[in-house]
Structure 1
Amino acid sequence: MTLLHTTRVRRRRLGVAAAAAGLLATLLTAGPAAATPDPGDTPAKGTISSEQAAEARSAIKSGEIPGVDEIVHSDNIEHLANIPKDALKGTNSDLAFQGTYAFSGNYDGFRIFDISNPKAPKTVAQVLCPGSQNDISVSGNLLFLSTDSSRSDNSCSSTTQPATEKSSWEGMKIFDISDKSNPRYVAAVETACGSHTHTIVPERRNVYVYVSSYSPNATFPDCQPPHDGISVIKVPRKSPEKSAIVNFPVLFPGEGPDGGGNPGSPTNPGVSKTTGCHDITVLPSKDLAAGACMGDGILFDIEDPEQPKVIDRVQDNVNFAFWHSATFNQKANKVVFTDELGGGGAATCNAEIGPNRGADGIYDIVGKGDRRKLVFRSYFKIDRPQAPTEVCVAHNGSIIPVKGRDLMVQAWYQGGVSVWDFTDSSKPKEIGYFERGPVTLAQVTTAGPWSAYYYNGYIYSNDIAKGLDVLKINDRRTDPAKRVRLDELNVQTQPDYFDRE
């Protein structure tokens, strides 16, 4: 374990740091094709000008941004531990939790940590199973892993293979984790266009898996346009080898080869064309789900998990480029949608981009039943500017469970970890943060927290480059959450926290 020294710098205002003007000009005029979400197997890299590098060095010297790899944080955040990457060298991705274990996705496979002592997590197992994303969830003795890169077969020893070949494989892998030190690969289900992310809807006998995937192509035999829906997999807990797709509900019905989602550019310049969903969050206690679907945000009913039904759909063709993820508040009367401007490959936390683009969108849910509507209230974006080499983007986060408040912790890649309050939907505000300075000042680099989640009194952050971080927040506004305990947490399957106290 490596416990890194923590320091503080003074609060900075958005607008102090330099903007990566040349990179962003290319990014924002290229249209949806530039908004490829999440880093690929090779992290994003790009050059900056000597003037931009000089401005970044000046900002570091003045204390306006942290130095290279320097750790800074607000007074109410403690950095307890960092566990660097080990056998799995790929991009770290999502996190899931069960009891005293944390499960960390990595583009090369997944890692299991014993977090019974959050100050000193220990590695229990590392499983090599390449397949980009490796989005991860757990339920009982089962672990689910998404593969969103074209592979030669469904094994963990597969190699890359073009999606134009019919024999190529992408989809869901399922492991038995009854022995945490020795996970067993037990089943696989191929899904159209792979599985970029997935969301589980657990039941007593079965687990339903909603598979989000997108970007079809007429040259891909297993990923044909318009692909305006999601794959629904039914997994029998006692016989996971019998897992199978039971439905492919179309969420964006429409005639023609492009379906009925957001058409993107040139109709809506700079907005991603909707060809599926990026991520879905379900709230089983309320039979609700929210989908972040490229150019659209949707609210749908999952009372029948095999037949999800869309209730409302919204677009933001002014400030949102790519609807990335969704989070409900505990009362299920709000949804936070994130915009992955630049697809996780550009520096977007700066004055040139501003506070409304590449931000979170906060929506109230008004009305009842099938007449419920998503009503926009405001944007939230971190106001701590980043160096022009730092890929910064709104990414995965979770609710911090406090009655009477809407609090959230969220990852922002090299923007770090932000804790913020959206109790007043129209006036969100940051109340704490943790971040590292740029990885380098030589080139644009993908790094920083992919996921930042609150679990049983602590914040766990999966840093793309640096490994697992454990944080603790000490603040009167968040302290009541320390009493809430869960047996299991998959953030995209939001629990009813207070029924479990």
Structure 2
Amino acid sequence: MSLLHNTRTRGRRLGVATAAAGLLATLLTAAPAMATPDPGDRGVKGDKVSSGEAAEARSAIKKGEIPGVDEIVHSPNIEHLVNVPKGTLKGTNTDISFQGKYAYSGNYDGFTIYDISNPRAPKTVSQVLCPGGQNDISVSGDLLILSTDSSRSDNSCSSTSQSATIKESWEGIKIFDISDKRNPKYVAAVETACGSHTNTIVPDRRNVYVYVSSYFPSARFPDCQPPHDGISIVKVPRKAPEQSKLVGFPSLFPDGGNPGAPTNPGVTETSGCHDITVLPSKDLAAGACMGDGILFDIENPERPKIIDRVQDNENFAFWHSATFNQRANKVVFTDELGGGGAATCNAEVGPNRGANGIYDIVGKGDKRKLVFRSYFKIDRHQADAEVCVAHNGSLIPVKGKDLMVQAWYQGGISVWDFTDSKKPKEIGYFERGPVTLDRVTTAGPWSTYYYNGHVYSNDIAKGLDVLKINDRRTDPAKRVRLHELNVQTQPDYFEDGDDD
């Protein structure tokens, strides 16, 4: 495949609760990590790039059409403040949550707590060794929820990989007490069907409800049997997390969901959800569920009710994540084309496949519908060795505007505007050049979020990046302050509920 379809400069055009005896976590200091990672926990290196494609990339770098290997480029309105390399957790960096002056960074080997009171100089407070892909992370009060979506020998943090065909194998969520940031304590675990790829919390006064997304069942897996057409809901009592338990598995797809190929070639068959985003202030949730996008009511968090469901069998391969705008009249769904392991930001793939899909929410109550308006995809084409995919992002809270910052793996970070649902546009970017030119490699930002005036990005390979946006269009967001942010549990940024 060719690298670029036109000339670019280095400016880069904008365009079930367990016994305490089984719970063990290791707090890391400066000693080297001793984890034995699961396959795929490190940056994935795939097929070799042909000599011709590698030569083409080198030529493009020489001409200034793409950044050089590990070279940083960005738009004038983006300032890169600092990069904090990985510490003793060397696995793939994943999601991020925030609370006060702390950022909680997920990693396939565990999680890290950073003090970000000075965004230009984050400090590592603690690192917890607890291997188990992908360690998606949420926080609420003194509780931290960690997802395990790799079959393990038991629920402890010293477990090892074990086949899901073995009944005693374990996957699910782990619950930590983070009241002491320097010494998080593992207090409970709940096993869930097919594990926990991601988790989304719906907090209330006494409990934290956890929506657990997982998928890919098999008749060979005793704890992950088909049909797997819903989500696990776990109830975590704030004052007694050791009593956490599974309270339901509601079916979201009574008809089985999108059948995928051969009925819909190129589309992943629906067998669960990848990620769910909730907007508690509006009792709404949006699910990115493999072959389907859904909108549902969560007024009763234990009994979600489907409002509408959509498919895109022409351009969406794998519905990956969802983001509401502040007024809850739009949803942005992302497509993880290539499963996060392929070069998809190029002319051959084009602008619609592997893009974000922007949907308006029209109507009222149970008659609301998701109506497709447009696609958005970065137009900064990447080398054939660079895995590039639409991934995790968040709103930038500006009244009257719909702005996002978003991770694109080796496509970097995009700041974009979808105020006009039909005409989204990029208004800023940050990216690094290829990690290598001779082999397809997974790297770059996994999660990129806006929090209290700064952008925090968890780079799969490079560690934590902190950036600042200097742009009149986003400047009003600097005045918005939150005490806590889990991006998949979207806050009501404006107390009056009106962002016009």
Q: Where in structure 2 are the equivalents of 1:58-457 lying within 5 Å? A: 58-254=59-255, 260-457=256-453
For residue 86 of structure 1, report the CA deviation from its aligned partner.
Answer: 1.0
Q: Is the 8 A contact 1:39 1:446 kept in 2?
A: no
**Residue 295 of structure 2 aligns to a residue in which SS?**
strand
Q: Is the 8 A contact 2:457 2:466 kept in 1?
A: yes
Q: Is the 8 A contact 1:12 1:65 kept in 2?
A: no
Q: Is the 8 A contact 2:11 2:73 kept in 1?
A: no
> 1:170-195 CA deviation, whole Å, 9 max, x = no partner?
00000000000100000000000000
| Cα gap change, 1:42 to 1:416, in 2 (>3 Å) | closer
Partner of 2:21: none
| Cα gap change, 1:301 to 1:461, in 2 (>3 Å) | same
Equivalents in 2 of 1:361, 1:44: separation in Å? 28
Partner of 1:23: none
> 1:122-144 CA deviation, whole Å, 9 max, x = no partner?
00000000001100000000000
For residue 441 of structure 1, report the CA deviation from its aligned partner.
Answer: 0.7
The unaligned stretches of length 5 or more in structure 2 are: 1-8, 16-38
For residue 106 of structure 1, report the CA deviation from its aligned partner.
Answer: 0.1
> 1:327-350 CA deviation, whole Å, 9 max, x = no partner?
000000000000000000000000
Amino acid at match of 2:330: K
> 1:286-317 CA deviation, whole Å, 9 max, x = no partner?
00000000000000000000000010000000
Equivalents in 2 of 1:41, 1:407: separation in Å? 32
Q: Count the aligned residue pairs.
A: 466
The unaligned stretches of length 5 or more in structure 1 are: 1-7, 15-37, 255-259
**Residue 55 of structure 2 aligns to a residue in which SS?**
helix
Equivalents in 1 of 2:65, 2:445: separation in Å? 21
Equivalents in 2 of 1:207, 1:48: separation in Å? 47
Equivalents in 1 of 2:269, 2:42: separation in Å? 23
Equivalents in 2 of 1:385, 1:428: separation in Å? 18
Equivalents in 1 of 2:192, 2:45: separation in Å? 27
TM-score normalised over the length of structure 2 = 0.92
| Cα gap change, 1:237 to 1:409, in 2 (>3 Å) | same
> 1:365-410 CA deviation, whole Å, 9 max, x = no partner?
0000000000000000000010110000000000000000000000
**Residue 147 of structure 1 aligns to a residue in which SS?**
strand
Partner of 1:30: none
Q: Is the 8 A contact 1:338 1:361 kept in 2?
A: yes
Q: Where in structure 2 are the equivalents of 1:8-23 lying within 5 Å? A: 9-12=10-13
Q: Is the 8 A contact 2:166 2:222 kept in 1?
A: yes
Equivalents in 1 of 2:468, 2:273: separation in Å? 33
Equivalents in 1 of 2:40, 2:213: separation in Å? 17
Amino acid at match of 1:353: V
Q: Is the 8 A contact 1:484 1:500 kept in 2?
A: no
TM-score normalised over the length of structure 1 = 0.92
**Residue 238 of structure 1 aligns to a residue in which SS?**
coil
Partner of 1:45: 46
| Cα gap change, 1:41 to 1:244, in 2 (>3 Å) | farther
CA RMSD for the aligned pairs?
Answer: 1.3
Amino acid at match of 1:361: G
Amino acid at match of 2:99: Q
**Residue 57 of structure 2 aligns to a residue in which SS?**
helix
Equivalents in 2 of 1:337, 1:137: separation in Å? 20
Partner of 1:28: none
| Cα gap change, 1:41 to 1:58, in 2 (>3 Å) | closer
Q: Is the 8 A contact 1:448 1:463 kept in 2?
A: yes
Q: Is the 8 A contact 1:486 1:500 kept in 2?
A: no
Amino acid at match of 1:246: V
Q: Percent identity?
A: 82
Q: Is the 8 A contact 2:43 2:443 kept in 1?
A: no
Amino acid at match of 2:437: L
